[in-house]
Every structure is written in structure tokens, then in C-alpha cells.
Amino acid sequence: MSKILEMKNICKSFSGVKVLEDVCLSAKKGEIHAVVGSNGAGKSTLMKILCGLYKKDSGAIILDGEDVDFDSIRESKACGIEVVSQHIEFVEELSVAENLLMGKMPLKISGAINWKEACKTSKDILQRVELHFAPTEKIKNLSVGEVQMLGIASALFASPKIIVLDEPTPALSQHEIEILFGFVRKLKQQDVAIIYISHYLQEIFDLCDKVTILRDGKNVETREVSGLNKKEITKLMVGDYLSTVSELPVPSDEVVLSARNLTTLEKLNKISFNLKKGEIISLAGLTGSGRTEIARAISGLDKIESGMIMLNGKEVVIDSPKKAIDLGIVYMTEDRRGEGLIMPFSVKENVALPSIDKLKTGLGFYNERNAREITQKSVANLNIKLSGIEQLAENLSGGNQQKVVVGKLLELCPQILIMDEPTKAIDVGAKDEIYKLMRQLCEQGKSIILISSEMDEILSLSNRVFILRDGELVCEYKNEGLTINELLMAFEGGTDNEKHK
Ligand code: ADP
Ligand code: MG
């Protein structure tokens, strides 16, 4: 296999903070090369340098034996490099065809766009990734997974020599992941070099030949995947970081929240459960079972048709998100990019804005110094990695973005936190920190409703697990000796094992 790409001693700093230090990475034709590392390790930055989005401070990029240094994505594309980034940016208001063929729209002799031709070409591209919507569909009407698949399709369409997939799977369904993997394997046969970034270590074992591990902007090692196991990779990623598998929270007997026969138009049918002070409960079930809908109902986002919510023994009416927050209930959504953070704003603005009322001085003016203090305290408490509190949220790594979301919500001094997929697409180190934080919050007397698709997360955190199916709560388990298999069986309805009830 011949080497097609070599990145040598790449260095990069952002406002004086070094994020890449002498990083080396090479890629061979027909090889799938994984790049792994904790959030903030520098993976995406390295790829943005490769494709000409960022300028390196020093180092060399050798493509097919020649020194290159791209000034724009257009230039790297022209040399056969396609980078499918974590967050694909299509123009929301335009159609699929216009986005796919941007700059390459087929024209009629008159100079007008040849829509028939454009639609035909787009349809071909779409079919390759088994996407079945019309080329005239607007991007804003697609799901996150569909947009991701579209980005991949568009990169494939360019017939690249090197393709970089930067965390392609978090938004994809199992079926879409299989389609993607099929493609990646086909590209390998066609001698394309593939650089594959993922937090899901299983994917590395399923798909990749080699793995380069980065930590804090430096190379740790490059190894054949076949000689490694998950534990070893994790250790290389996080260094001497020791995971603290601690005990479950110890709740008091006091019930803080009690839902009685909650029913909504959308989904929920007579949901009843209690949440105790200092307790973590999990709402578990397959996608679409109603987990998120419970969160939405309790946090004032969806209208409750019948049933009631009791808070500290008193009936409450939660008819808006503001009301929920006033009552001490905050909802950390699954979609931190869409709802959790304002990406083009600074970390400081994100942390301080929700509590702006508290930040006003006696005269009603916004108090900048308090905002800075609050943010700095949050950054220190939650160990958020950034170059400064003025850094834009969108430039943080996923795990750190998630911590900013938590920081922002804690400023609201909630009694109950609803956390929807709190560790989705974040690395093991940041995951552990979020877990530790959740347990600490319980020790401080807060209570947490966890929604998670990760079985080991549910089992290592929650005191009790409620299983949902089709908008109904079908059973409750105490987390005492509960196993992943039992949980999965319960999701599907294939169990009448009631021993933990
Ligand atoms: P990874 O992809 O491995 O999670 P990134 O490459 O996104 O990590 O980030 C590496 C570091 O660089 C992080 O600490 C991040 O905050 C910082 N960073 C990335 N882009 C920017 C930017 N445009 N401005 C300032 N800092 C940045
Ligand atoms: Mg990244």
C-alpha cells in the first residue's frame, strides 16, 4: 500500500493556546485509518488544516509526494480531498439539488439552470446512499441523520482520493450506519484513503485498519487496530486518568416530583412515577417510546391533556418552560447544538445569559463583572477546557460544549434536572466527569431524570429504571443486579421477568 498523505509536525495555536504540537499523521491508499482522542484533543483542527479551512503555524503536508498548503476548501477538493465534518453546513433554505450541485449547476444554452438535469444527477447521488426524498426538498425539512448522509453522499460524488469522516455516526440510525460502513468498505477496495474519526470505539474495531491516538494536541501512538483492545485504546486516549466507578446515589425517602396519569395528545398515556430527593431515575426504551415526551411534558414544552404533576407535595401547573424553570425544573435537551447553546456566542454569554435577571445591578444594569465571575467559576468547577471565556461556543469540542450547557443550567439553581442523552458523542474522559458531576448534584440534594440510550450509562447511574413502550410506562426496575440483557428484553416487551420490580 502506498502512502498518499503525510502530515508532518503540524503545529497550531489559537490565541496563544497550543492545540496541536508536532502532530504527525499519514494515510495510505486502501487503508482505513482511525483518529481517536478525547474531546479537545485536536482531531477536527488537524482535519481543518488538511482541507485548508485553517492555516497551520508550522509543519508540512505532503500529498502524493508533493508539498501542499491549501488556502481554501476549494483547493483541497480540487486535489481530491473531501472532509465530511461533524456539523455539515448546507444552506437550509435551498433545495437538496442546489446544495449538492452548488457551483456546478447544469445550465441550458440560454444560461438558465437546467432543472431536469440537476434533479437527475441529484437523484443518482441520493440513491447511492439510499435516500429517497425529492431533489427539490429543502434542507430544512430533513432530519439531522439525513443531512449527515447527504453530506457523505456529496463527498462520495466527488470521487475523492482521500476522504475524512469526522464523527459521522452520532446522528445516524443503525440502518444508516450500515449503509455508511458499506460505502467505506467499498471505497477501501477502490484504493481510496479513509481517515475515520469517532468516539465509538466499537466502530474502530469494526471498520479500521490503523489507529492514531491524540491526546492534548500531541501524538500518543499509531498502531494496527488488530493488536489492540478497547481498554488499551481508552487508556492511551486518557493517559493516567483513572475512571472513578463509584456507587449509585443514595436518595432520601422524600418524594420531590410525582407524576400522576400524565397524558398528552402527542404520545403519553397515563404516565405515573415518583422521583425522590437525591435520586437518579432513568426513562428507558426504544427511540419513539416516549422518553423525550415525558421530559417535554414536565418541562412545559408540551401541553398536558390530563393527569397532574405534584412538586414537593403540592399540585403544580407547568404550562411553559419559564414556569418549569421558576419551579426549579430544568431540561437539558438532547440537541446541544440546536437548543442547548447559542453557537455564535461566547462561552461567557452562554453561561450568563439565562440568569441575566440575577446579574442585574441594583439599578437594573447588566453586571459584566458578575457575568465573568459566574462563568469563570463554572469553567473551574466543571473543568471546561477552553482558551478563554470569550471563546465562541461553536469552537469548543463536544464534551466541553456539553459542560457549558450544564454550567448554564446550574446557574438557574434547579431542584430537578432532566438530562436527555447527556453524553452523546462525547469521549470517555468527559463522560466520566459528567457522571461524577451528576452524582455530586444528587449529594447536594438535587434529583435527576436521565434519558439515555446507553445501557451501561443507565445501569451505572440510576437508582431506578422505568421502561417505556409506545407512550406507556410498562414497568419499573430497582437497579439491583439488573443487567443490560434484561433491560433490552424489557424494551421489546419480550420479558415477564418481574423479579426487580
Ligand atoms: P477534537 O476534534 O479532538 O474534539 P478540536 O480540534 O475541535 O478537538 O479542538 C482542539 C482544541 O482547539 C480545543 O481546545 C478547542 O477549544 C480549540 N479550538 C478549536 N477551534 C478553535 C477556534 N476556531 N478558536 C479557538 N479555539 C479553537
Ligand atoms: Mg472534533
**Is the pLDDT at 412 greater than 90, yes or no?**
no
Q: Which protein residue's CA is at the shortest distance from atom 19 of ligand 1?
A: 395
Q: Is the pLDDT of residue 241 over 60?
A: no
Which residue would you say has higher pLDDT here, 409 or 31? 31
- DSSP strands (E only) in 70-171: 81-84, 162-166
Q: Is the pLDDT of residue 466 over 90?
A: yes
Instruction: Answer whether residue 421 shows pLDDT above 80.
Output: yes
**What element of type H or E holds 449?**
strand 447-451
> Using CA atoms, how far apart are residues 111 and 305, in angstroms rounded to an integer?
56
Ligand nearest to the CA of 212: 1
Torsion over CA: 426, 427, 428, 432 (sign): negative
Q: Which residues contact 368 (CB under 8 A, 6 or more apart)?
A: none
Give yes or no for residue 396 CB within 6 A of ligand 1: yes
Amino acid 498: pLDDT: 41
Q: Is 38 in the pocket of ligand 1 (CB under 6 A)?
A: no
Query: What is the mean pLDDT of the segment spanning 23-27?
Result: 97
With 60 as the cut, is the pLDDT of residue 208 above it? yes
What pLDDT band is residue 463 in, cutting at 50, 70 and 90?
A: very high
pLDDT category at 363 given cuts 50, 70, 90 is low
380-390 average pLDDT score: 87
Question: Average pLDDT, whole number, for the chain?
Answer: 88
Is 90 exceeded by the pLDDT of residue 337? no
Q: Is 467 exposed, middle or buried (0-12, 13-18, 19+ CB in 10 A)?
A: buried
Distance 42 CA to ligand 1 centre (A): 6
Nearest CA to ligand 1 atom 11: 40
The alpha carbon of 109 and the centre of ligand 2 are apart by a number of angstroms equal to 44
Query: Sign of the C-alpha dihedral, residues 135, 139, 143, 148?
Result: positive
- What average pLDDT does range 357-377 have in this prediction? 74
CA–centroid distance, 154 to ligand 2, in Å, is 20
Distance CA(334)–CA(385), nearest Å, equals 21
Residue 499 has pLDDT above 60, yes or no: no
Q: Structure pTM? A: 0.65
The pLDDT of residue 82 is 95
Question: Among 84-98, 267-281, 329-343, whose mean pLDDT is lowest?
Answer: 329-343
CB of 387 closer than 6 angstroms to any ligand 1 atom:
yes
Is the predicted pLDDT of residue 39 greater than 60, yes or no? Answer: yes
Higher per-residue pLDDT: 29 or 90: 29
Q: Which residue's CA is the closest to the ligand 1 atom numbered 13?
A: 40
Residue 391 corresponds to which cell in the numbers above?
A: 471563546
Ligand nearest to the CA of 400: 1
- The pLDDT score that the predictor gives to residue 500 is 41
CA atoms of 387 and 12, how far apart (whole Å): 13
> Distance (Å, rounded) from C-alpha 352 to C-alpha 71?
36
Surface-to-core class of residue 224, CB atoms within 10 Å of its CB (0-12 exposed, 13-18 middle, 19+ buried): exposed
Residue nearest to ligand 1 atom 27, measured at CA: 395
- Flag the least confident range among 328-332, 407-411, 461-465: 407-411
pLDDT of residue 26: 96
**Closest-lying ligand to the alpha carbon of 41?**
1
Q: Is the CB of 43 under 6 A from ligand 1?
A: yes
Q: How far is the CA of 483 from the centre of ligand 1 (A)?
A: 38
Q: Mean pLDDT across the stretch 89-114?
A: 87
pLDDT higher than threshold 80 for residue 365: no
Percent of the chain with pLDDT over 70: 93
